[in-house]
Structure 1
Amino acid sequence: MHLKKKFIQFALKNQAIQFGNFKLKSGRNSPYFFNSSCFYTGKNLIKLGKFYASLIQNSKINFDSLFGLSYKGIPIAATTAMILKQKYNLNKPFFFNRKIFKNYSEKGILVDNNCIKNKIIIIDDVMTSGKTVNESIKVMNSISSEIEILAIFCAFDRKENENNKIKYKIDEKNQKNSYQLFSIINIIDVIEFLKDKKIFTKHIKQIKNYYKKYGSEILKS
């Protein structure tokens, strides 16, 4: 919980957690938004990388390489790879995907697929329904049958469902199309933090109502 509280404070200070009315990629209107690009300074990226590296280290997962999900997962994966080496002496390669297939020079959808190792962890900023992650997983599986995706790491888990069907079941990685999901914080952590600190109180009810409608778990009152 100490790590969670520190990250929420870090996110609020840099306005990465925003309140208002936001149209999401899913088409839903959300009373809050998590914007990892608010961390994009040298100082803050180092801090962000430390949070991710700590989360990865605490997971005890034995992996070979990091995959940064385009676009926002790319700088996070790069920073995290550097922190893993600097702080934990883990020298792991990272790679990432393009949104558009490249048919010249370094061809393909992945950069650099020459450094892909068998056991992969995916790095992203936010988890909503998992649709974007699932699309990238299909691409990787089409490239090599030897790729094994161990887990997904993100800063913020919105803990939402898609059409009432949860795409990613936490801690059930042995099920088909199901992977372990590790997040630094989730929306429930944020709600509890705001309630405890008695801040942004006018937004808490809106967030709770939204989560009761789209959340993947039953929200405690």
Structure 2
Amino acid sequence: MHKQRFLQLALHAKALRFGEFTLKSGRLSPYFFNAGRFDSGALLAGLAACYADAVDAAAVAGSIGDFDLLFGPAYKGIPLATALACEYARRDRDLPVAFNRKEAKDHGEGGTLIGAPLDGRRVLIVDDVITAGTAIREALALIRDGGGIPAGIVVALDRQEVLNEDDDGRRSAAQAVAEETGVPVIAVANLHDLLDFAGENADLVGHRDQLLAYRARYGTAATTD
């Protein structure tokens, strides 16, 4: 149920919108997701509960390994990891949190990392989406440099679209990161879930054909088979 709860919450927060949107890649998308619209305590709390349910389900299924620290890549990952830590505390699991600066600080405590020490910890990275994978790869390098062990990556939405149309394997950014780094990536929901959600919602069913056409053109090999 966390998938539908998340998509409904995203719709309510206007984090998920339908129409015509030009993405950074230049593609014209029939939908757009912006986690920055989860901009209140109640919305963040609801989102964190969805993240926690998705992570717990993946752990039970064996999709990700054990973890004992949450890491939020700057910038959007910082409030997401913090909110998830608060949700786990509510569930009687107290997890340390760490995050990074975009630029190293050369005064005070200095350095790039803030929060709990990473050394020897199994780290779950918490972010909104994986677009090109650059920020996630940088976070993985920081974690390893700090002595941490990446255990998994969780994002809110996996668009399940090809990163590069010339890629014969038709891999998404999330698939490319998982394959190249060996770190599993899970999502609270993905494009397949969004299609199911739109098909069951009378207000959104009119957008389903555009979603299907977009998936047929840009979807990964797994979504277009």
Whether TM exceeds 0.5 here: the answer is yes
* Contact 2:73-2:100 at 8 Å conserved across structures: yes
User: What TM-score, normalized by structure 2, do the two folds share?
Assistant: 0.83
Q: Distance in 2 between matches of 1:116 and 1:32?
A: 40
Q: Which residue of 2 aligns with 1:73?
A: 77
Matched, 1:118 2:121: yes
The 3-state SS of whatever aligns with 1:76 is: helix
- Give the letter for the 2:102 counterpart: K
TM-superposition CA deviations, 1:118-151 (whole Å, max 9, x none) = 210000012334232122212333x24x421111
TM-superposition CA deviations, 1:177-217 (whole Å, max 9, x none) = 13211211111111121112233334322222222222223
Equivalenced residue count is 215
Q: Which residue of 1 aligns with 2:143?
A: 140
* Contact 1:157-1:187 at 8 Å conserved across structures: yes
Q: Which residue of 1 aligns with 2:154?
A: 153
* Contact 1:78-1:94 at 8 Å conserved across structures: yes
Q: Distance in 2 between matches of 1:31 and 1:42?
A: 29
Q: How does 1:1-221 map to 2 (within 5 A)?
A: 2-60=1-59, 61-87=65-91, 89-112=92-115, 114=117, 117-141=120-144, 143-144=145-146, 146-163=147-164, 164=167, 166=171, 167-169=173-175, 176-219=180-223
The 3-state SS of whatever aligns with 1:80 is: helix
What is the CA-CA distance between 1:84 and the residue it aligns to? 0.5
What is the CA-CA distance between 1:47 and the residue it aligns to? 1.1
Shift of the 9–127 alpha-carbon distance from structure 1 to 2, 3 Å rule, reads same
- Give the letter for the 1:81 counterpart: A
* Contact 1:64-1:117 at 8 Å conserved across structures: no
* Contact 1:156-1:184 at 8 Å conserved across structures: yes
What is the CA-CA distance between 1:7 and the residue it aligns to? 1.7
* Contact 1:168-1:179 at 8 Å conserved across structures: no
Q: Distance in 1 between matches of 2:118 and 2:150?
A: 15
User: What TM-score, normalized by structure 1, do the two folds share?
Assistant: 0.85
CA RMSD in angstroms comes to 2.5
Q: Distance in 1 between matches of 2:24 and 2:101?
A: 18
> What is the aligned-residue identity percentage?
32
- Greater alpha carbon shift after TM alignment, 113-122 vs 12-21: 113-122
Unaligned runs of 5+ in 2: 60-64
* Contact 1:53-1:83 at 8 Å conserved across structures: yes
The 3-state SS of whatever aligns with 2:214 is: helix
Q: Which residue of 1 aligns with 2:62?
A: none
